[in-house]
Every structure is written in structure tokens, then in C-alpha cells.
Chains A and B, each alone.
Chain A
Amino acid sequence: NAGVTQTPKFQVLKTGQSMTLQCAQDMNHEYMSWYRQDPGMGLRLIHYSVGAGITDQGEVPNGYNVSRSTTEDFPLRLLSAAPSQTSVYFCASSRLGVDYGYTFGSGTRLTVV
């Protein structure tokens, strides 16, 4: 099993550009989420999903869109990149239910110039 796969690993964007961060998992997990990690801020939840067709906002959703058309994929879209979105982005998945830990991807390091 590959687990949670994130692409790309690194990306540089210009202010105002849009892009999609990809996340795929092969564990048939119902729950998926996106976090961003900034120095001194810890991990902050952007968006999450509890199943195909169901998404909801986390703590810092502004400037980001998500969709969940399949169980496996949960892409994160940056609509118009801003320097404040420079961060490391992690995708995580788990089975539904509070007894399960999250499986994280290896992250996407995004720089917006």
C-alpha cells in the first residue's frame, strides 16, 4: 500500500496564480483532510471531508477550495495564490470513528513569490 500520496513535493507560484495540490489514498479511508504547517503555528486545519461528496471548512479555509468526487482523492485548490499561503501542506486520512489515528502524506512545500 502506498498510503497517502501528495503531489507535487515542491512548488513555487507567483502571486495571483492558481494551482491544485493533489492528495490520494489507497486505504479506503472515509475521512480526509488538509492541514497547513507554519513555523510557530503548528498544524492548522483547512478543509476536511467525511466521504465522497461531503466537505466542510476547518480553521483556516479562506483562499482554498476542495472537492471529494471519489473516496480516494481529495485535491486542494488555491484560487489566487498569495504570499501568506507560503507553507507546508499536509493531507491526512483515516477511517471514520474516533478510535483511529491519521495517516499523513509527506507534504507539499509551497512558496508564493
Chain B
Amino acid sequence: SQKIEQNSEALNIQEGKTATLTCNYTNYSPAYLQWYRQDPGRGPVFLLLIRENEKEKRKERLKVTFDTTLKQSLFHITASQPADSATYLCAPRGMNYGGSQGNLIFGKGTKLSVKP
């Protein structure tokens, strides 16, 4: 079955450093992958989408890479701030709706804590 693994349940870093979160997937060949942020008691919020033919995508302080050979995506937050503290979810996605391949499959998330 399709499996999504995010590198760790929790990541603690110092303010100003770069946070790097890892998402690995198996038994799956997603054409797209999305990243979400979730704050306690709230629903996930969409951050970035990257396609299989895009090696890297940037949005402000965020950078996502997608390596289909390694079956891995990396999510970077540069110059991290305490306000970046949240749980980050990766979600690979297939090409078509209909069947589990077409819907988002979420990893369990990595809880990032940025200390001042």
C-alpha cells in the first residue's frame, strides 16, 4: 500500500536557522506533491505544490524540492521565526480522481518548534 513517511515527529531549531523537513514515499509514483501547515486546533493550510518535472519551488522563505528517483521531497524554511512553529504535512497526489491514487494522502506530519 502507499506509504508516506515524514522524517521525524518533532524538530527543534533556533531562530534564524534553516529548518529542513523530509518526506519519503513508497509504493507510489505521485505526479505532484503538496505541503501544508497545521496549527493546533485548526485545519491544515495549503502552502506549496510541486510537480514531478520541477526540481525546486520557492515561495518567500519556503523552498521545496522533489526527487522522484529518491522518492523524496524536502521542505526548507530559511531564516526561521518562532511564528513558523507548527506541524507541517506533506501530501503526494496522483493524476486523476477516482481511487486512492487521485486523492491527497497525508503524512503524519513533523512538528516544528522554533526557539527564540
Q: Do A98 and B103 have beta carbons less than 8 Å apart?
A: no
Q: Do B44 and A50 have beta carbons less than 8 Å apart?
A: no
Contact of A42 among B41, B94, B108 (CB under 8 A): B108
Give CA–CA (A33, B100) in the complex, Å: 12
Q: Do A98 and B106 have beta carbons less than 8 Å apart?
A: no
Instruction: Decide: A43 near B97, CB < 8 A? Known: A101-B34, A104-B45, A107-B42.
Output: no
Instruction: Decide: A104 near B44, CB < 8 A? Known: A31-B97, A48-B103.
Output: yes
Contact of A105 among B36, B43, B105, B108 (CB under 8 A): B43
Measured CB to CB, the residues of B under 8 A from A are 4, 31-32, 34, 36, 41-47, 49, 89, 93-95, 97-98, 100, 103-109
Q: Do A56 and B98 have beta carbons less than 8 Å apart?
A: yes
Chain B's closest residue to A31 (CB) is B97
Contacts of B93 in A (CB 8 A): 98
Contacts of A45 in B (CB 8 A): 100, 103-105
Contacts of A50 in B (CB 8 A): 97-98
Chain A's closest residue to B47 (CB) is A101
Least Cβ distance of B41 to chain A in Å?
8
Contacts of A48 in B (CB 8 A): 97, 103
Contacts of A42 in B (CB 8 A): 4, 89, 106-109
Does residue A113 face the partner (Cβ distance < 8 Å to B)?
A: no
Does residue A96 face the partner (Cβ distance < 8 Å to B)?
A: yes
Contacts of B106 in A (CB 8 A): 35, 42-44
Contacts of B105 in A (CB 8 A): 45
